[in-house]
Structure 1
Amino acid sequence: MSDVRFNMWLFMSSTWRKLKETLVARSASDMFKGTFKVTFTLAFLLFILQMTTTDVNYKDFIRGSLPGSDSRVIEIVRDRYLTPPSSNPYNLSTDQKYLQYSKSVSWKYIDHYLKQFFINQRKGFFVEAGALDGEFLSNSLWLEQSLGWSGLLVEPDEESYLQILQKHRKAWSSNSCLSPTTFPREAVHVAVKVKDIYPGVPWYYRGASHELGVTLSPRYDGFFEAAENSYFLVHCFPLESYLRALNVTTVDFLSLDIQGSEQGVLKSFPWRDIIVRMVVAELPAEEKDMVDFMEDQGYFWLNSKERLYDEEFIFVRNKDFFIHYRDIEPNPGFYQMAAVSA
């Protein structure tokens, strides 16, 4: 692909993305107005033109032909796969049942450490992959709301991502997935959706959505029995690609809850080039080789003396831990729970 054609594609791609954002921002009352119909028609025609531009096939760049550090891949991520933070007021849930469950299970465990590490740090940067709707069990919302952090939310599920946009988070977002390798790739996303007859909180089920082919913990078996799946193709990029597209060189908090791809993301990340201060990753409890790997990268396994809750591993960069956080307090509630269940 020539540079001229590539630049043409980037321009058209960026224009299409901005039009899509405009459509999402429209209120429901505008849906049948003539101006909306005209905008949608123009956007659709532009999309067709974009997809049929001679010899401009961006898929060549997201099927592994170039590494995620390549400037052309980074340009594609920046212009096509990143939505800027919302400037509108938050539109968070007021449903009491939702709010009760949105701060339960692993959220309490992780929140305990987040507040000890970052309570006095303003203007940090987070990455939350597996962001769901941007509120339910969110590990980053407190950092954004209370401390003024910016960040990146990555969510491949289309319905979940639409909810992120509607909640008006003050972070960048991407309707894509993290690649477990150093190359972009395409994957089949399995969207798990609760059946209508189930009376519980549906977002628990949405959290079990995953890439087709990965091995999940047996604890999800009950979820799949009560849910129905749908399948669609998603584009995945190395975490490095997103960060370089945003010109980010330090990530204060990285949260990975991507149902089976965490190990690949961690092992393919350029730890020497980009600073990450704290990592929370959902990993199989028996995968202690990841502890060795992270220690080799200069990280301390923070919750090594606790019984792992929900298979959450917490790693802190040695430089941060031994200088600032050696007196970090464990979560006594989960110590007690481990003792009772032992």
Structure 2
Amino acid sequence: MKEILDAILALDTADAVSADFAALPLPESYRAITVHKDETDLFDGLVTRDKDPRKSLHLDEVPVPELGPGEALVAVMASSVNYNSVWTSIFEPLPTFGFLERYGKLSGLAARHDLPYHVIGSDLAGVVLRTGPGVHAWKPGDEVVAHCLSVELESSDGHNDTMLDPEQRIWGFETNFGGLAEIALVKSNQLMPRARHLSWEEAAAPGLVNSTAYRQLVSRNGAAMKQGDNVLVWGASGGLGSYATQFALAGGANPVCVVSSPRKAAICRAMGAEAVIDRSAEDYRFWKDEHTQDPREWKRFGKRIRELTGGEDVDIVFEHPGRETFGASVYVTRKG
């Protein structure tokens, strides 16, 4: 791995060429962050807040996986922690090994993913080391980032919208050999050029959350946001929400940012948002108890939104918390 790293650090010189990387010997193994199949009951009986990922995550030495057609092995220079990494580490809502077992039944090649350990992580920035048969757009030495959507594209259902591919999976969550490792295995169609003005860490951060936010808000398969739209953004200072806020501002829309602290409100204002609601300070309680929502709180929330939008309801809700906020989201949205 040190020889590979030295070659990557020399990329800014004229001496580093594709042939050099293709000639680099691959190690037999690499270091990776994993969870173990025999530990999926580790947190049984504990509530979520008491489940400590430091007890379930391991730094292991694992074999380099076989490289298949349409795939690439990438030396990882930086990765990113996402919610699915946290879910994987605490085995919620389900252990990921069920995903890997089902994927392993798809084909002989997919069987590689069904292992007693799971290399996690759904983001990376790095350098291509090897490409499999049928890969033409990428070569060893290319600096890349990877998005997390793994698809087979053998069904026409996925041709118009890859999220509808029956074999659509999230790499590093529903597949093995993810990005929190020294080497990762990806499909070549997950790769995009690294933006050279970004550091490795900066380049690794946007992949999953930025792609998700773009799809939700901007794409033809999402809300098709337009100039002048009022966009309610839950969790606006977080990974998804911060990109949603920036997309709204860049697209001429008006983000109404909902956060849970003054520090997070300051983050939104620093991005350029003017309409910010600190839900903790204003003490919104959308549920009276576990089974009963409170429409009076929805109404109070809607009134606050209209104060910030000049009397208008929101056109789009960027909703990802789910059950806790969904009723309020539906209530405050413009009809139609």
Which interval holds the TM-score relative to the shorter structure?
under 0.3
The structure showing larger relative contact order (alpha-carbon pairs under 8 Å, at least 6 residues apart) is 1
Q: Which has the higher helix share?
A: 1
TM-score (norm 2): 0.27
TM-score (norm 1): 0.27
Larger Rg: 2
